[in-house]
Structure 1
């Protein structure tokens, strides 16, 4: 596979988008308070990367989106007292609880659209998404965040000589 057309590392706690709750007045709002800061973090990182490319146009063709979300391990995965920094043998290797991967993708794709990386999230035709814990594998960060890569799926057009 060729190099990605766009690649960024985002720092911050990934926030899921999708679940809505009604308040007493009947207005809808996001259930997760992490959505807005996460979308802003993705948008900011994307805009910083695009600032160096004056010719960038939002992708309006089929793309593959690869995202590895790094989540903080819960405190109960670690021992207590003198073992406070030691991972328990019973701690799971992979995050299987909330947030849902599809809801994390939803907020991330919307932020990429808002930043001008994608014309619309509908151009994403292939997706690879993973959740991992900090320092627990390939593309895992040392703190919460995500590694995002976007590949164009159309073959480049040949230039005429």
Structure 2
């Protein structure tokens, strides 16, 4: 399954403790304001791809007009392999000679926010199912599968 998302990739940050609910459970909120729009963008892009895959399964004669990779089951429940190519905005202060965004945000935190959004969208059952991973941070138009603007290309395959 190939999912293309446009928007500024945001890291899953730390949680802040607000206090306790009446039930005694702790109330935790995300400290980063940018993560919610990113997770929503990933979630809706993933749901859109899954809808196309479902249509391709239901109407195979019309699936040639759908721009999807390979019609699979929509929810991946077994072990999966994942590749994510994050395209980050190039800061105006970054020299043209800098090929990679080797500053914040951390790649591991970008992965975490994106994985959580894919679980929320129902693409994968649980992020513990990911047994193989490849991830890259790059600037726009730097070749390969990078996008021409900020976002991500996410490839999820059942193993």
User: TM-score, normalization: structure 2?
Assistant: 0.78
CA contact (8 A) 2:15 2:29 kept: yes
Whether the aligned pair in 1 keeps the contact of 2:119 and 2:125 (CA below 8 Å) is yes
Shift of 1:8: 1.1
Residues of 2 paired with 1:46 and 1:17: CA distance?
A: 18
| Alignment length (residue pairs) | 137
Separation in 2, partners of 1:76, 1:23:
36
What's 1:106 paired with?
Answer: 112
Q: Secondary structure at the match of 1:47?
A: helix
Structure 2: give runs of 5+ residues left out of the alignment. Answer: 21-25, 58-72
**How far did residue 28 of structure 1 move?**
3.4
2:131 paired residue among 125, 135, 138: 125
Q: Rg: which structure is higher?
A: 1
Structure with the higher fraction of residues in helix conformation: 2
Q: Is 2:65 the counterpart of 1:48? A: no
Unpaired runs of 5+ residues, structure 1, are: 1-5, 78-87, 154-161
* Cα-Cα RMSD: 2.0
SS at structure 2 position matched to 1:43: helix
2:75 aligned partner? 58
User: What is the aligned counterpart of 2:148 among 137, 142, 153?
Assistant: 142
Displacement of 1:139 in angstroms is 1.1
| Structure 1 residue 53 displacement after superposition | 2.5
Note if 1:33 corresponds to 2:64.
Answer: no
Q: Which moved more, 1:52-61 or 1:128-137?
A: 52-61
Which runs of at least 4 in structure 1 moved beyond 6 Å after TM superposition?
A: none
Matches of 2:112 and 2:98 in 1, distance apart? 25
Residue 13 of structure 2 corresponds to 18
Match of 1:7 in 2: 2
What is residue 67 of structure 1 aligned with on the other side? 84
> What CA deviation, in whole Å up to 9, does each residue of 1:101-156 have, x standing for no partner?
11111111111111111011110011000100111121111110000001111xxx
